[in-house]
A = this chain, B = another copy of it.
Amino acid sequence: MTDERRKFKRESAEARKEALILATLELVAENGVRGATVRGIAERADVTQGLIRHYFSSKEELIIAAYEHHMNQMTDLTFAPGAAAGSARARLRAFVDGSLTPPVVDPRALALWASFLNKVQNDPQMKETHQRTYAYFRDRLEALIAAALEEAGHPAPAARLRQLAIACNAVIDGLWLEGGALPDAFAAGELVEIGRQSVAAITGLDLEQEAET
Interfacial chain B residues near A172, Cβ < 8 Å: 170, 174
Segment of A60-68, A77-85, A140-148, A161-169 in the binding face: A161-169
Q: Check if B182 sits within 8 Å of A198, measured CB to CB.
A: no
Are B134 and A107 interface neighbours, CB within 8 A? no
Chain A: interface secondary structure? helix
Q: Does A42 reach chain B (CB closer than 8 Å)?
A: no
Q: Mark A105-121, 1 if CB is under 8 A from B, else 0.
A: 00100110111011001
**Residue A114 contacts which of B114, B173, B178 (CB distance < 8 angstroms)?**
B114
Q: How would residues 189 to 213 of chain A score, 1 for a CB under 8 Å from any chain B CB and 0 otherwise?
A: 0000110011001101000000000
How many copies of this chain does one complex carry?
A: 2
Q: Does A58 contact B (CB under 8 A)?
A: no
Contact A166:B182 (CB < 8 A) given known A34-B32, A177-B173: no
Residues of chain A at the chain B interface (Cβ within 8 Å):
30-35, 107, 110-111, 113-115, 117-118, 121, 130-131, 134, 163, 166-167, 169-175, 177-178, 181-182, 186, 193-194, 197-198, 201-202, 204
- Contact (Cβ within 8 A) A182 B114: no
Partner of A118, one of B115, B163, B166, B204: B115
Residue A167 contacts which of B115, B169, B197 (CB distance < 8 angstroms)?
A: B197
State A156–B175 Cα separation when bound (angstroms). Answer: 22
| Complex A-B: 22 CB contacts under 8 Å | A32-B118, A34-B34, A114-B114, A117-B181, A131-B182, A134-B181, A134-B182, A163-B194, A166-B175, A167-B171, A167-B194, A167-B197, A167-B198, A169-B174, A169-B178, A170-B170, A170-B171, A170-B198, A171-B174, A173-B174, A198-B198, A201-B201
